[in-house]
Amino acid sequence: MRIALKPFNRIIMSLLIILGVVGVSHAEIDMATAVGLWLFDEGKGNTAGDASDAGNDGELIKSPAWVKGKFGMALEFNGKDNCVQTGQKLLDNLEEFTILTWVQTGKVTLNRVGLVGQNDSPEFGFIQPLVVNLWTPVGAISKPWAFKHDDGKWHHIAAVASAKFMQIYIDGEVQEGPGAGPFGTSNFNVNIGGCGVWDGTGNWFTGAMDEVAIFHSILDEDDVLTAMDGFTVFLAAEARGKLPITWGKVKARY
């Protein structure tokens, strides 16, 4: 059973997990398949550290602003000229993958606004101001954006792709279409928030992003809902040997 935690309760639960007071049951999300996990919690500097074991740190281009995030800190993009560049082809020639991020949109008014992608391979973002789209060379899927932009609210977005299906999640609600794969190759690298997502350059996002992740595996619906609770709790527990390989789903026993 998934437990929705209020901010104060989330802090208490984090401490209890770390101390081993509450029980943890293993999920099927294998952190070994994570090739990028950018929490954006540094709060300063020009590097977005990769919290996965892959070590794919991102470089901040033209100084996106450090702001308060959904969890900890986040990065705010100006919609004009800044982004995070990974310098890596993290979405190249894949049989399956998952992309996740929290977004707090600003004034999104243009088409082809990028969130996360590798031009000419998987590309993910706002194909239109009110349509979220995952495009690949072998298939695509869209889901309407039912929210007002620039309202200060955070929303969780995910894209999942495999031979069996392609999916887009917005705040845990899924839209599914036919699968495909492999999902294409290109000469471009993965960018976040602009610098070329749908195209070789540009595609600037206006707003904040937090907890961006790329997995070379399928996250199912329950996994995506678990990810919405935030990575920090699970990484802290994993580092202390509470979660040997996979994330844990928190089940309080009290």
Question: What pLDDT, on the 0 to 100 scale, is given for residue 31?
Answer: 84
Q: Is residue 14 part of a domain?
A: no
User: Which residue range forms the structural domain that includes residue 60?
Assistant: 28-239
Q: Is residue 33 part of a domain?
A: yes
Question: What pLDDT, on the 0 to 100 scale, is given for residue 147?
Answer: 98
Q: Is residue 11 part of a domain?
A: no
How many structural domains comprise the chain? 1
Q: Is residue 181 part of a domain?
A: yes
Q: What is the pLDDT of residues 149-193, one digit of tens each?
A: 999 999 999 999 999 999 999 999 999 999 999 999 999 999 999
Distances 120 to 144, 189, 201 between C-alpha atoms, Å: 23, 10, 12
Q: Is residue 157 part of a domain?
A: yes
Q: Determine if the peptide bond prior to 137 is cis (ω within 30°).
A: no
The CATH code of the domain that includes 59 is: 2.60.120.200
Signed CA dihedral, 79, 81, 83, 88: sign only? positive
Query: How confident is the chain (254 residues) per 10-residue block, as mean pLDDT?
Result: 45 45 49 95 98 97 98 97 98 97 98 98 98 98 98 98 98 97 96 98 98 97 93 68 44 29
Q: Is residue 136 part of a domain?
A: yes
Q: Of 32, 36, 34, 33, which Cα lies nearest the Cα of 190?
A: 36
